[in-house]
Structure 1
Amino acid sequence: MPILADALQDAGCADEALLAHCREPGAHVRGCWVVDLVLGRE
């Protein structure tokens, strides 16, 4: 997920909460709000 944060930031994403969440250690599993957002789920 840290690589995703870097890519999003390079693409112009300025959402600090989203970027910080992506850079947190640990697994991001089903129910992770960032994963759902990226996949277009609600």
Structure 2
Amino acid sequence: MRELFGNPFRPVALVPVWLTSTVRALAEGIYQERAFDRMPILADALQDAGCDNEDILTHCRQPGEHVRGCWVVDLVLGKG
């Protein structure tokens, strides 16, 4: 459930400056191509853009399966 909704006790706000063209393109590619193996790359791009939110970065880098509807990808794409 946390893959889809994150931690309900720790809501995450996205800082607009983190939404660089690289971050958006990576998230869109992950979403469209279901290329969730690129999640660590998305974490790196977010961090390069100034993201210091450990919930976001840890989620992107965690091992295991990610699915369409992933809360971080949806957050970046404005789908949530």
Same fold? TM cut 0.5: yes
Q: What is the TM-score with the length of structure 2 in the denominator? A: 0.48
| Equivalent residues of 1:2, 1:22 under 8 A apart | yes
The runs of 4+ residues in structure 1 deviating greater than 6 Å are none
Deviation at 1:32, TM superposition (A): 1.4
Instruction: Determine which structure has greater relative contact order: mean sequence separation of CA pairs < 8 Å that are 6+ residues apart, divided by chain length.
Output: 2
Gaps of 5+ in 2: 1-38
Root mean square deviation of aligned Cα? 1.1
Q: How many residues align?
A: 42
Q: What is the TM-score with the length of structure 1 in the denominator? A: 0.82
Query: Of 61, 66, 77, which aligns to 1:28?
Result: 66
| Structure label with greater radius of gyration | 2
